[in-house]
Amino acid sequence: MLDDFMIRAALAGLGVALAAAPLGCFIVWRRMAYFGDATAHAAMLGVAISLAMSTSVFAGVLVVSLLMALLVTLLSGRGYAMDTLLGVMAHSALAFGLVAVSFLSGIRIDLMAYLFGDILSVGKADLAIIWGGTALVLILMAWRWSALLMSTLNPDLAHAGGVSPKREQLVLTLALALMVAVAIKVVGVLLIASMLILPAAAARPLSRTPEVMAVMAAVIGSVASLSGLRASYIMDTPTGPTIVCAAAILFALSSLFRALRHTSTETPAH
C-alpha cells in the first residue's frame, strides 16, 4: 500500500496536521505567531549544518529549532519588545541559513524543497519520523494540557496552583521544535507557521471549549492537507503552498460563518 506516493503523501499530511493542531491552539491563544516563524526559519540553518556534517536533517533541524526557541524564550522580557525580537531572530536565522547553504560545495541541494516542502517525495523512513514525532507531540500535549492551559489563560492562578509558567513555556518550546523538524519535509520552512496558525484560527469561531478547539483544528488541518494534496495533483501546482491555500480558504469560510452568526444574533434597534 505504501508504494503509492500519493498515499504516503496523504499520511504525511495527516501526521503534520494532527501534531500542529494542539500547538497551533496555544500559539493563537498566546499570540505567538512570530514565535512559530522564528523557530521554523531557524530550520534552514539546521539543514545547512546537517548537510555540512553529513548527519540526519531531522536531527539537525530539531537541535537548531530547539536552540532558537530556547534563545527567544531566554531573551524575552529583557528590554526588547517581543514582536521586534522575534522578527529579528526569524529573518536573521533564515538569512544565515540560506547563506550557509550557498557555501556547501559538492552537495546538490533542492532549496525549494526545503523552503516550500516536498511532500510527494516522502518515503517510508520519512513517514516513520513524521508519525513518531507526531506521537511524541500529542503525548507531550496530553500530559501537560491542564498545566499549559492554566499558565496560558492565567499565569497568576497557575503560580498559585503550583504550576510554573516558565516550565510550561519550555514544554511548548520543545513541542514546537519537534513539530518544525517533523513538518519541514511536508510544507517547508516558509509555510510551517501557516499550518500551525490557520487551522487553529479557523477552529476558534466553531469551538466553545479549548478541547473542542484542538479537535476542530486537527479536523480542519487534516481536511486542508487532503484537499490541498488532491487539488495540487489535479491542477499540477506546488503541493505545500496548495495545502496552505486550502487551509486559508477554510479559515475564510470559518470567518464568514462567524460574521453571519454574529449578524443573525444581533437584536434589531427599536
What pLDDT, in 10s, does the model give residues 167-180? 888 888 888 888 88
Residue 155's closest CA among 146, 145, 165?
165
Listed range (69-73, 210-214, 241-245) with the worst mean pLDDT = 69-73
Which cell is 95 given? 538569512
Please list the helix, strand and coil fractions of the chain in percent, rounded to the nearest 5, in that order.
80, 0, 20
Q: All domains of the chain, ordered by start, with CATH?
A: 5-193 (1.10.3470.10)
Q: How far is CA 189 from the centre of its chain?
A: 10
Query: What whole-number distance in Å separates Cα of residue 245 and Cα of residue 206?
Result: 20
What pLDDT, in 10s, does the model give residues 184-241? 888 888 788 888 899 999 999 888 899 999 999 999 999 999 999 999 989 989 888 9
More confident residue, 52 or 106: 52
Label each residue of 90-116 as H, E or C. Answer: HHHHHHHHHHHHHCCCCCCCCHHHHHH
Answer whether residue 78 shows pLDDT above 70: no
State the pLDDT at residue 219: 94
Listed range (40-54, 97-111, 202-216, 244-258) with the worst mean pLDDT = 97-111
Phi/psi-derived region of residue 251, left when phi > 0, alpha when psi is between -120 and 50, beta in every other case: alpha
233-193-200-244 Cα dihedral, nearest 10 degrees: -20
Answer whether residue 79 shows pLDDT above 90: no
